[in-house]
Amino acid sequence: MSDLDPAAARKALIALGLAPGASTLPLDGLTLRLIPRDPGLQAKDIPVDQLFAKVTAMRDKLRVLEQRVNADDRIDAAGRAALQAEVTATAEALNGLLAFFSRDALPPPQS
């Protein structure tokens, strides 16, 4: 575990506008830098708002895929269940990534 003081962390997040109590979640201008382990490869900067939009679009496309799987009569019950499990697991992973940028995902304040 971490030695991080939850109250201090919460105050820092509020000051940065990243916690409940802050006016907005400031995604504009933030950049996520992906740094490869191989030093011979180049780092990649991704604007957070673009990443957020792409993840949201992927999640929406998964919902459409799920509806198509449910409506397709050619898929038997076992196949449908297997596909549903894969779609659900992928959607949950995307939701987890979106929650990383959500104010609601933060723990409640410590009293």
Is 1 domain-assigned? Answer: no
Question: Coil, strand, or helix at residue 111?
Answer: coil
Is 111 domain-assigned? Answer: no
Is 97 domain-assigned? Answer: yes
Mean predicted lDDT score pLDDT of the chain: 76
pLDDT, tens only, 65-82:
999 988 999 999 999 999
Interatomic CA distance for residues 49 and 24, integer angstroms = 14
Amino acid 44: pLDDT: 92
HSE-CB at 19 with a 13 A cutoff on CA atoms is 15
Q: How many domains does the chain have?
A: 1
pTM: 0.57
Is 36 domain-assigned? Answer: yes
pLDDT, tens only, 1-52:
445 566 666 666 655 555 555 444 556 678 888 899 999 999 999 888 888 8
Is 45 domain-assigned? Answer: yes
Amino acid 23: pLDDT: 44
Q: By residue range, what is the domain housing residue 32?
A: 6-105
